[in-house]
């Protein structure tokens, strides 16, 4: 569990990596939404192969919370707003294509945000149970196998990689979304 503080107040974050088999993406999303509502939290599931480490999700969550607090959010749903910030894209369909959950066996990243640690923890556990997921924090790591996908997805050039590491460049792309209107 992590704690974020800012203009949005205090929020508790849970970031969890897991292996899951997803038969029906829409059904999983509905179940996650139901669990989130019942626990008064916001949760989103991402394809972990498109996540550049835990810091990527922390950064995206912070920026999404700030945008919402400042009235600069561009999605009605907080979970979709998180998806857009994580993808570094305003276009919802493109963001879902970049970082969204896919059908089949998957490495997933689950992000849950709320005001109370016990509710965040309970929601995370219920989501893992509902997915039949096996927790594996290693799927969140930025590995050499993920690099080509992240470089392509976030449009990172070789010259950029000569001056900064990949995670920093992904975080920069996410932050640049705040400049778009």
Structure tokens at 166: 């990949």
Tell how strand 134-135 and strand 9-22 pair up: antiparallel
3-state secondary structure 15-38: EEEEEEEECCHHHHHHHHHHHHHH
User: Does pLDDT of 181 surpass 70?
Assistant: no
- Cα angle 168-95-178, degrees, rounded to a multiple of 5: 55
Give the CATH architecture of domain 2-179: 2-Layer Sandwich (3.30)
Domain boundaries, the chain: 2-179
Under 8 Å between Cβ of 14 and 124: yes
CA distances, 99 to each of 28, 66, 89 (Å):
15, 21, 10
DSSP-based three-state secondary structure for 75: coil
CA distance linking residue 108 with residue 147, whole number of Å: 17
Tell me: the pLDDT tens digits for 118-177? 999 999 999 999 999 999 999 999 999 999 999 999 999 999 999 999 999 999 999 999
Question: For residue 46, what pLDDT is reported?
Answer: 96
Q: Are 151 and 37 in contact (CB under 8 A)?
A: no
In the structure, what pLDDT confidence band is assigned to residue 178 with cuts at 50, 70 and 90?
confident
Please provide residue 64's backbone torsions phi and psi, each rounded to the nearest 5 degrees: -65, -40
Instruction: Dump pLDDT digits (tens) for 12-66.
Output: 999 999 999 999 999 999 999 999 999 999 999 999 999 999 999 999 999 999 9
- State the pLDDT at residue 74: 83
Kindly report the pTM of this predicted structure: 0.95
* pLDDT tens digits along 69-97: 998 888 889 999 999 999 999 999 999 99
Q: Look up tokens 């920069």; give the residue.
A: 172
- CB of 32 within 8 A of CB of 45? yes
Instruction: For 159-170, write each residue's pLDDT tens digit.
Output: 999 999 999 999
Q: What's the pLDDT score for residue 179?
A: 84
């Amino acid at each position: 569990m992590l704690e974020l503080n800012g203009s949005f107040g205090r929020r508790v974050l849970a970031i969890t990596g897991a292996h899951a088999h997803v038969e029906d993406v829409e059904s999983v999303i509905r179940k996650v939404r139901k669990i989130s509502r019942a626990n008064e939290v916001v949760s989103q599931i991402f394809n972990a192969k498109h996540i550049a480490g835990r810091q990527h999700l922390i950064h995206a969550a912070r920026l999404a919370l700030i945008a919402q607090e400042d009235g600069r959010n561009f999605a009605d749903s907080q979970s979709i707003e998180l998806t857009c910030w994580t993808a570094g894209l305003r276009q919802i369909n493109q963001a879902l294509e970049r970082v969204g959950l896919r059908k089949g066996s998957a490495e997933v990243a689950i992000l849950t945000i709320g005001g109370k640690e016990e509710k965040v923890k309970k929601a995370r556990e219920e989501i893992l149970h509902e997915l039949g997921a096996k927790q594996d924090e290693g799927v969140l790591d930025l590995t050499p196998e993920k690099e080509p996908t992240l470089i392509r997805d976030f449009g990172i050039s070789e010259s950029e990689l000569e001056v900064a590491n990949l995670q920093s460049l992904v975080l920069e792309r996410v932050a640049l979304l705040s400049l778009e209107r």
